[in-house]
Copies of this chain bind each other. A is one copy, B any other.
Amino acid sequence: MTTHVEKFVYDFAEGNKDLKDLLGGKGANLAEMTNLGLPVPPGFTITTEACRAYLKGAEPPTLRDEISEHLASLERAMGKRLGDPDDPLLVSVRSGAKFSMPGMMETVLNVGLTDTSVSGLARQSGGNERFAWDSYRRLIQMFGKTVCGVPGEAFDEALEGAKKAKGTHNDLDLGAEDLKALVDTYKKIFTEHTGREFPQDPREQLDLAIRAVFESWNAERAVLYRRQERIPADLGTAVNVVAMVFGNLGPDSGTGVAFTRDPGTGNRGIYGDYLANAQGEDVVAGIRNTVPLQELERLDKKSYDELLAIMAKLEDHYRDLCDIEFTIERGKLWMLQTRVGKRTAAAAFTIASHLVDEGGIDLDEALHRVTGAQLAQLMFPTFAADSGELKPVAKGIAASPGAAVGKVVFDSHRAAEMGNAGERVILVRRETNPDDLPGMIAAQGVLTSRGGKTSHAAVVARGMGKTCVCGAEALDINIQARQFTVNGHTVSEGDIISIDGTTGNVYLGEVPVQPSPVVQYFEGKLSPDQDELVAAVHRIMTHADAKRRLRVRANADTAADAARARRFGAEGIGLCRTEHMFLGDRRELVERLILARTDEEREAALAALLPLQRNDFIEIFRAMDGLPVTVRLIDPPLHEFLPSLEELSVRVALAEARGEDPGKDATLLAAVRRMHEQNPMLGLRGVRLGLVVPGLFAMQVRAIAEAAAAVKAEGGDPRPEIMVPLVGAVQELETVRQEAEQVLREVGVDALIGTMIEVPRAALTSGQIAEAAEFFSFGTNDLTQMGWGFSRDDVEGSFFTRYLELGIFGVSPFESIDTEGVGRLVRISVEEGRATRPDLKIGVCGEHGGDPDSVHFFHSAGLDYVSCSPFRVPVARLEAGRAAVEAVGSDSR
């Protein structure tokens, strides 16, 4: 791109599909079709290089002459001249950048029409005066708006006025004379706003239109779009100048779109729509209904057969589903555009598998053509197709996809009770917190009235692959009364509702749900020979597993999760959190631990926790027999296990105001005050807790070791790995390691000891930390929080949404890893950790472990494994496979 290019204009015949940098996507594909011998209207492309020079204020001095040359050649090819009063050549001027930026930049049609040539056009179109004046009207409107900045409303109002005067709502009712008058009005509007006459020099029209397209690269919406999509700001756009062809010249003309396969299902066949006597914009406007493409056979057999032959040729050439735009002008077929077509998730898998069968592509390429995001979509249950007619009673934020139906329940305890009794429930809360976990696990879905895509409910539900609608603000929830009201309806505990996590819709009553066949396959309930889609998924997943270098583990805290993860293909547990082992009934023990005034009291509380934790681990080790289980020692601050400062303060103040003794609340309040932290995320947690509370980590290590010994004794093969959270300095890890090794020796069990890398300093001093760690696991959630300096809990309500709007991120860095900042820490850590300890095992256990783009990053950064929620395990397997074949695939991602 930095070499000097003398040539700024390319005839279509001079380009090809690999020149997208220079010619943009549209120009490159038009050139490709031209060279395939397909009937593309003649034209030429002005390069992105010319655009870049123009935008720097240095339009190439040779550009005008080059355009003149190519225009002359276009005129020769068409046998017409631009602006010829008798037989004018008209051209379209269209933008076309390297990366598709739909609707972001400008297009001007019908360039070349003037007061004189409009009559020539009428004559050449067989005396179709209406067509000619309508075309002229459209030019003035588009040119005025796009090239000269005339407000679009001015033209819209004039058009509305003309229709009103005629007593109609339909453009088609305006006759030639009406349109002629409208052209006069439009020209006056043009002059009013620009201070000049509408240009009657067709070459001036062309030059101004080209510059307007150049400049549209820097239009505000385009800048914003690029910022969001992280498209470099200095690429520039190409400009395509193409001879106009018209589908609106009579019944032997028309326009259509076509797909070489069904983009909905992926099935083979001809799919498309056709509209006779119309232009592309009319199809968009929906003035008349299109007909299925097959009808064209009856209307124009010659064009139809030619189109089918072309479609076969394009599929053969692109080896993929192609999406085509065409126009028939008086029985002559013209190809206006082609590209590899968008498709649904199911179609992506089916097409890829079919293409392998047909010999079009190999399995690597098939793997490359499907995405983890598509697989994830296929894993959610859906509401049956015919429920689309139902009216939702409220709409919230689509926080975690899927379809869920169940009885409304307002608290976690009740949800768990009913759920465990086999009932389907929807947990409805204002917002959720970690205490709601058992209820969320037991529920079909979660509905909240507050919070957005990054709220606790949303994040946890996505992690579990559980349907969630959050922030449904129309709901007025009364927990005490066990009911909510919404738009005049009252819903009580036990009433059935349905929620759609893909749309955010909330329905009263039961909407029929169909389970995902893909999940049924992973669960072993459906075999590949029973379902074509499942067959395609099976085939591609098998190939992904064969090709991937990354291992895939799951984040699982319970035996049930571990078992599920294993069915989904997990090769171990990368993160077993121990926090939940301090919740529920065990809170009382944690309170005793916190309030302990003597060593004896503290030791007694720990001793009581030990057998409970040990049993938890025994079950998990059994479920993951023979596979590694990485247990993270307790991470959150202890005061999170106590009631909130606000709650206790009010309780104590009210008791005192009533002259009552606040009792234990007063003791708790004192403890909470003492332990209160301004920024708990940056406070006494993780390894710090382990170093400050004597015996806490040792108790956990003992529970792990004794559980492993017990499972071994029953003939199992437990493989515990002990992970220390929040380490920032090797000295911390060394201190904990000494204590842990002592306990392991006492119990007589071996376990790897390693650390989370989640504090920036840990990443930056990984060379030292690897001296005391047998493995690293990146906690990319915290690494993102600390690397960016924002807390996930706090950002979504305040500035995060605004940041996405402003284009400061294209995507939340909690969803896809920020490769430039946080990812750089990961790369530094991997490189320097391995320099110290070449056999260092390295994984990731943040939520990024199940995110497609992030998995590719972790592959390229050289990690050994990713760990994610059980539900994301198949996605991670697929993406790990794709990452492995990436080097040999094309750039279709």
A binding-site residues for B, Cβ under 8 Å: 227, 645-646, 649-650, 653-654, 657-658, 675, 677-684, 688-689, 691-692, 726, 728-729, 731-732, 735, 758-761, 764-765, 768, 782, 785-791, 793-795, 798-799, 802-803, 806-809, 818, 820-822, 824-825
Contacts and interface: CB of A to CB of B under 8 A. Distances in A.
A679 B794 contact: yes
Contacts of A675: 798
A790 B728 CA distance: 10
10 contacts: A653-B653, A677-B791, A678-B680, A679-B791, A682-B682, A688-B799, A758-B789, A759-B789, A760-B760, A764-B787
Contacts of A822: 761
Contacts of A821: 728-729, 760-761, 764-765
Nearest to A727: B789
Contacts of A795: 683-684
A793 to B, nearest CB: 4
Given A684-B799, A729-B821, 7 more contacts: A678-B793, A679-B681, A681-B682, A683-B790, A688-B798, A761-B821, A764-B820
Contacts of A793: 677-679
A658 B794 CA distance: 34
A392 B657 CA distance: 41
Contacts of A825: 760, 764
Contacts of A681: 678-679, 682, 789
A836 to B, nearest CB: 14
Nearest to A732: B808
A840 to B, nearest CB: 19
A791 B678 contact: yes
Contact of A788 (B646, B679, B728, B735): B728
A396 B657 CA distance: 36
Report the 10 A-B pairs with minimum CB-CB distance, sorted nearest first: A761-B821, A682-B791, A679-B791, A684-B798, A759-B789, A683-B794, A731-B808, A679-B679, A688-B799, A677-B794
A791 B820 CA distance: 25
Contacts of A790: 682-683, 688, 728
Contacts of A732: 808
A799 B692 contact: yes
A224 to B, nearest CB: 11
B802 A692 contact: yes
Nearest to A682: B791
Contacts of A726: 789
A691 B650 CA distance: 35
A376 to B, nearest CB: 27
A683 B678 CA distance: 12
Nearest to A761: B821
A269 B692 CA distance: 51
Contacts of A803: 688, 691
Contacts of A788: 728, 759-761
A763 to B, nearest CB: 9
A692 B825 CA distance: 29
Contacts of A731: 227, 806-808
Contact of A787 (B683, B684, B760, B768): B760
Nearest to A675: B798
Nearest to A821: B761
Nearest to A645: B646
Contacts of A646: 645-646, 649
A692 B809 CA distance: 15
B682 A794 contact: yes
A525 B791 CA distance: 51
Contacts of A679: 678-682, 791, 793-794
A622 B714 CA distance: 82
A798 B594 CA distance: 13
A821 B768 CA distance: 11
B735 A806 contact: yes
A806 B688 contact: no
B782 A789 contact: yes
A658 to B, nearest CB: 8
A795 to B, nearest CB: 7
A427 to B, nearest CB: 22
A731 B223 CA distance: 12
B684 A789 contact: no
A888 B876 CA distance: 57
B649 A764 contact: no
Contact of A789 (B650, B735, B761, B765): B761
Contacts of A688: 790, 798-799, 803
A258 to B, nearest CB: 40
